[in-house]
Amino acid sequence: MLKAPIGILGGTFDPIHIGHLRPAIEARDTLELAEIRLIPNHIPPHRANPFCSSEQRLAMVRLAAAENRHFVVDERELQRDKPSYTIDTLIELRHELPDTPLCFLMGMDSLLSLPSWHRWQELLDYGHLVVSVRPGWQPDYPAEVAQLLARHHTSDARALHRQLAGHIWLADNQPVELSATRLRALLEAGQDTRYLLPESVAHYIDQQGLYRANRR
């Protein structure tokens, strides 16, 4: 008997916002996921990451997670000194949680670019993919993604409970038209960002003076 599936959401979270949180909450409810793991990505210090440090991104993810008992923060990718591929993280989680279906959550933009991911064809050996609607990205699939969907798509939510891996679920979530890029632009312009991110995160950004025009 398998355990209830969990959701996994990796991201830069620079900063975390409702475009990450709302689709994750809806996926949890619809698919009856036991939890959502938020996994902030490692970004190499020498690469273009002008915004905030890993510690600050982690602090914001922790603040967002503290408001919902279903969110769990997983720091594994930040603890390494190099970027992790999603496939490696999924393999690790599969070993740690041998009886738990893993649902890797992503927006439509990520599904469309999946063929550029390292060992992308193996992702479905270790987990399911749960894809959220994201304004700006239509389901015009490149051939490789269309083939993947033809093989793995399911509209039976229980199938994600019955198998450890191998299905793709296309969510019908409330679209949220927001990116961290847009949010940073609003913050930089000194605009009011209320209701676009958790208040605790907005407060932290304000306290730390993050994303302000005069910092750069």
Residues that bind ligand ATP (CB under 6 A): 11-14, 19-20, 23, 106-107, 109-110, 132, 134, 176, 178-181
In the bound complex, what is the minimum distance in angstroms from residue 18's beta carbon to ligand ATP? Answer: 8
Question: For residues 3 and 176, which CB has a smaller minimum distance to ligand ATP in the complex?
Answer: 176
In the bound complex, what is the minimum distance in angstroms from residue 99's beta carbon to ligand ATP? Answer: 26
Is the Cβ–Cβ distance between 165 and 151 less than 8 Å? no
DSSP 146-206: HHHHHHHB---TTHHHH-SS--EEE--PPP----HHHHHHHHHTT---TTSS-HHHHHHHH
Question: For residues 5 and 7, which CB has a smaller minimum distance to ligand ATP in the complex?
Answer: 7
Neighbour-count burial of 175, counting CB atoms closer than 10 A to its CB (0-12 exposed, 13-18 middle, 19+ buried): middle
* 101 Rama class: left (phi>0) / alpha (psi -120 to 50) / beta: beta
In the bound complex, what is the minimum distance in angstroms from residue 1's beta carbon to ligand ATP? Answer: 30
Report the distance separating Cα 198 and Cα 71, nearest Å. 14
In the bound complex, what is the minimum distance in angstroms from residue 131's beta carbon to ligand ATP? Answer: 9
In the bound complex, what is the minimum distance in angstroms from residue 27's beta carbon to ligand ATP? Answer: 10
Beta strands in 41-167 (DSSP E): 71-73, 102-107, 128-132
Question: For residues 80 and 158, which CB has a smaller minimum distance to ligand ATP in the complex?
Answer: 80
Question: For residues 43 and 164, which CB has a smaller minimum distance to ligand ATP in the complex?
Answer: 43
Question: For residues 129 and 164, which CB has a smaller minimum distance to ligand ATP in the complex?
Answer: 129
- Looking at residue 64, the DSSP 8-state letter turns out to be H
Half-sphere exposure of 82 (CA within 13 A, CB side): 2
